[in-house]
Amino acid sequence: MRILLFLLTNAAVLLLISIIFHFLGLGNMLYQNGVNLNLDSLLLYSAAIGMSGSFISLLMSKWMAKSSMGVYVIEQPANATEQWLLESVRRLAQGAGIGLPEVGIFDSPDPNAFATGFSKNNALVAVSTGLLQQMSADEVEAVLGHEISHVANGDMVTLGLLQGVVNTFVIFFAKIIGFFVDRVLLRNERGYGIGYFITEMVAQIILSILASMIVMWFSRYREFRADAGGARLAGRQKMIGALQALQRAHDPEPLPGGMAAFGISSGGASRLFMSHPPLEERIAALRNAV
pLDDT digits (tens, 9 = 90+) for 215-268: 888 889 999 999 999 999 999 999 999 999 998 885 545 555 444 444 555 444
For residues 275 and 277, give the distance between their C-alpha atoms in angstroms, rounded to a whole number. Answer: 7
Q: What phi and psi values does residue 194 have, to the nearest 5 degrees?
A: -65, -30
Q: Is residue 95 part of a domain?
A: no
- Closest alpha carbon to 50 in 168, 169, 152: 168
What would the mean pLDDT of 24-51 be, rounded to a whole number?
A: 64
Task: Determine the average pLDDT of the residues in 162-174.
Answer: 87
The sheet carrying 122-128 orders its strands as 72-73, 102-106, 122-128, 113-119
Q: Is 156 within the bounds of a domain?
A: yes
Q: What is the sign of the dihedral through the CA atoms of 209, 262, 1 and 160?
A: negative
List the one residue out of 37, 239, 285 whose CA is nearest residue 145.
Answer: 239
32 pLDDT more than 70: no
Torsion of CA 102, 103, 108, 114, to 10 degrees: 60
Least confident of 37-51, 106-120, 238-252: 37-51
Is 158 a member of any domain? yes
Full-prediction pTM beyond 0.75?
yes
Q: How far apart are the first and last CA of the chain?
A: 34
Q: What is the pLDDT of residue 28?
A: 53
Cα angle for residues 130, 241, 86 (degrees, 5° grid): 50
Look at residue 146 and tell me whether its pLDDT is greater than 90: yes
pLDDT over 70, % of the chain? 77
On whether residue 215 sits in a domain, the answer given is yes
Average confidence (pLDDT) over 39-62: 80
Contacts of 211 (CB under 8 A, 6+ apart): 166, 169, 170
Residue 199 structural domain: 1-70+136-290
Q: What are phi and psi of 102, to 5 degrees?
A: -65, 145
In a domain, residue 84? The reply is no
> Cα–Cα distance between 63 and 65 in angstroms, integer?
5
Q: Mean per-residue pLDDT for 275-288? A: 90
Lowest mean pLDDT among 73-82, 113-122, 138-147, 175-184: 175-184
The CA-based diameter of the chain, rounded to the nearest angstrom, is 72
Residue 13 pLDDT: 56
In this model, does residue 3 exceed pLDDT 90?
no
**Residues with Cβ within 8 Å of residue 80, at least 6 apart in sequence:** none
178 found inside a domain: yes
Residue 27 has pLDDT above 60, yes or no: no
Distance CA 191, CA 38 (A): 15
What residues are labeled active site? 147
Tally of CA atoms within 13 A in the half-sphere of 105 that contains its CB: 19
User: What is the domain count for the chain?
Assistant: 1
* Contact indicator for 9, 60 with CB cutoff of 8 Å: yes
* 55 within a domain of the structure (yes/no): yes
Mean per-residue pLDDT of the chain = 81
pLDDT band at 189 (very low <50, low <70, confident <90, very high): low
